[in-house]
Structure 1
Amino acid sequence: MVFPLRSWRPLLRTGRAATSLRWLSRRSLTERWYPQGIDVGVWQGRRTLAVSWFRQDRARHHIASRIALVDLERGTSVDVALAVGGDGGLEPARIHAGGIAWMGDRLLVAATGAGVWEFDLSDVRAVRGAEARRLVGSTRWPLAARGRAVVRTRVHDVPMRCSFLARAFDADGSPQERVLVGEYRKDDAGRIAEFAVPEAHEPWPEPTWSVAPGITSMQGAVRWGDTVLASQSRGMQPGGLWTGTRDGLTRSGVDLPVGCEDLAIDPETRTLWTLGEHPWRRQVRGIPLADAGVA
């Protein structure tokens, strides 16, 4: 089903070293929804940035999740609720959505503590009224009259906490059928592992490699050739970017947004994308790979 990307318009700012996109709506400050994962793909024939969000209640329980699809040229976007199908209709995907990997029509989402959930982006459905409100965990939702949802097709059982994930690329920018999955921990014992993405009905394989790079509060990891890049949140200070081979990551001099989260690479523009989650400080930032220390 084809939907126009016109739900709201962010402000796109471009500088010499980076591109910064800031939300021009209540999502810039809400404490109910938090942005987490990020990736780049093609939606309706246009280069599109996908940002995952999760919703929580006052007790900090996850009650819904969604993705925002942002047209990188026009700046317009649309929200798509993440849903689970059942006999009683659609229910919200109550996951953290800490990282995403967009591979054609396949959307892989890190469901912290519950493996990797897969959604089919070729089957975006229109949802209305009470069902639309239920999928975003709200009795009021201004977009309920023209809501959209994508339904989970599979749960991949992964032997990790699955806090975040991202795609892997060859050194020339060719995408691989592989993802990096990582664990957020407040100590330095969090792991990164790389997996080959299985076909639709195959089991999730054993990791190709797995390391604990010794980074506290690790939030995202991506690979370009032999170079692994990882993000580190540092409270209300700018986030840190770590780079190197998988056997030796070191802190670079590149600052990431405050409250930085997931990482993604756009091979077409040679851009490293990340985002910040804190209210009032939320932004999506694109950094040239060369400035991030990647040849």
Structure 2
Amino acid sequence: MLWPFGSTWRPMRQKLRGTVDLRWLTARSWTTKWYPQGIDLGIWEGRRTLAVSWFRQDRMRQHLASRIAFVDLERSRHLDVALAIEDADGELLPAQIHAGGLAWFGDRLFVAATGQGIWEFDLSDLRRVRGPLARRLAGARGRGRRAGALVAVRSRVHPVPLRCSYLGRVFDDAGEPLRRVLIGEYRGDENGRIGEFSIPEDPDGRFDRLDQFSPGIPSMQGAVRWGDRYLVSQSDGMRAGVLWSGGRDSLKRDSVALPVGCEDLALDLEARLLWSLGEHPWRRVVRGIPFSRLGFDA
């Protein structure tokens, strides 16, 4: 399958064993330069597609670049799009953010930029770049050659009065998506906050806070809401991730384990799956957990 500008999709491996597991078939399965973080679901040219964010770091753990891998769920293939910003002279620079969470609304992709609010990228205006610029936006160094890269350019920065470690979608009781997101803070202690914000329809509008609470869960990595039910992911080092589920003030540990090194969460109401992913090298997986295992179909 081809994407804009004739770019080809790269394959992933899919296994069905109670969950839908997608695994990378390239060096990204084990690299320590790039780490997957955020996840959300959207439609691209009529096809159901997962968006998975990655950030690149150097040996000093400094952020160099970020990208989105768009995964065609029907064919289990993916395509990378680099994230970029424009400077005052119109030059493209790599988006040096953690990209800890995603919320995808049509052509508007919102990315959690830890400590820097929410960054918005325009998917209706992807650009093709080549040569040294492609290498720079991809966070690569040295003189190696790179044929080219697709780039999504930041269109707006939305200040938010939270650390913005992750970002998740909100649905009503009937499963209809709302123009709202959950924005949360990763902290090693129990003081991390989750806020619910409305998405501005006007690009110049602001994220308005509608609610905020502290569930008392350390190391929160993602959160989504369906009606009155919240789902929160919690990482636990090299052990399986923990899923918390329930009402705003009554979250309980679920018996279903998340991937090792779990990160963000995304609800897939059409396929009736909860998506998450693991970030650790050699253990990286994009996993869809059936709602029936979570008690959603009871």
Q: TM-score, normalised by structure 1?
A: 0.96
**Counterpart position of 2:62:** 61
Question: Aligned-pair distance for 1:164?
Answer: 0.2
Q: Shift of the alpha carbon at 1:136?
A: 1.2
Match of 1:275, SS state, is: strand
8 Å CA contact 1:5, 1:71 repeated in 2: no
Aligned with 2:202 (options 200, 203, 206): 200
Q: Give the Å deviation of 1:141.
A: 9.4
CA offset digits 1:19-54 (Å, max 9, x no partner): 011111100000000000001111122111110000
Q: Which amino acid aligns with 2:194?
A: I
> Cα offset for 1:266?
1.2
Q: Does structure 1 conserve the Cα–Cα contact (< 8 Å) formed by 2:199 and 2:208?
A: no
Distance 1:215 1:268, change over 3 A: same
In the aligned structure 2, how far is the partner of 1:240 from the partner of 1:257?
9
**Aligned 8 A contact 2:221 2:235 in 1:** yes
Is this contact kept in 2: 1:6–1:76, CA < 8 A?
A: no
Given that residues 2 and 44 in structure 1 are in contact (C-alpha distance below 8 angstroms), is that contact kept between their aligned partners in structure 2?
Answer: no
Q: Is the 8 A contact 1:36 1:275 kept in 2?
A: yes
Q: How far off is 1:203 after superposition?
A: 3.5
2:81 counterpart residue number: 80
AA aligned to 1:269 is A
The AA in structure 2 aligned to 1:73 is: E
Q: Could you say which residue in structure 2 is the equivalent of 1:285?
A: 287
Match of 1:89 among 88, 91, 112: 91
Q: How does 1:1-295 map to 2 (within 5 A)?
A: 2-3=4-5, 6-15=8-17, 17-86=18-87, 87-139=89-141, 144-295=146-297
Compare 208-217 and 134-143 and name the one that shifted more.
134-143
Check whether the contact 1:5–1:76 (CA below 8 A) recurs between aligned residues. no
Q: Which amino acid aligns with 2:242?
A: G
Q: What amino acid does structure 2 have at the position aligned with 1:35?
A: P
Paired letter, 2:97: I
Query: Which segment drifts farther, 56-65 or 133-142?
Result: 133-142
Q: Determine what percentage of the aligned residue pairs are the same residue.
A: 59
Find the residue that maps to 1:36 and give its secondary structure.
strand
CA drift of 1:12 comes to: 0.7
CA distance in structure 2 between the aligned counterparts of 1:227 and 1:257, rounded to whole angstroms: 21
CA distance in 1, matches of 2:202, 2:263: 28
Q: What is the aligned-residue RMSD (CA, Å)?
A: 1.6
Tell me which moved more, 95-104 or 194-203: 194-203
Q: Residue type of the partner of 2:119?
A: W
- Cα deviation, 1:238-285, whole Å, max 9, x if unaligned, reads 000000111221101010000000000112112100000000000000
Deviations 1:159-196 (A, max 9, x none): 00000001101122211100000000000111111011
Q: Which runs of 5+ in 2 are unaligned?
A: none
Quick one: structure 1 residues 140 and 73, their matched pair in 2 at CA, closer, same or farther if it must change by over 3 Å?
A: farther
Does the C-alpha gap of structure 1 residues 227 and 82 become closer, same or farther in structure 2, counting only changes over 3 Å? same
How many residue pairs end up in the alignment?
Answer: 294
C-alpha distance in 2 between matches for 1:228 and 1:158: 21
When residues 84 and 72 of structure 1 are mapped into structure 2, their CA distance, relative to the original with a 3 A threshold, is same
* SS class of match (1:107): strand
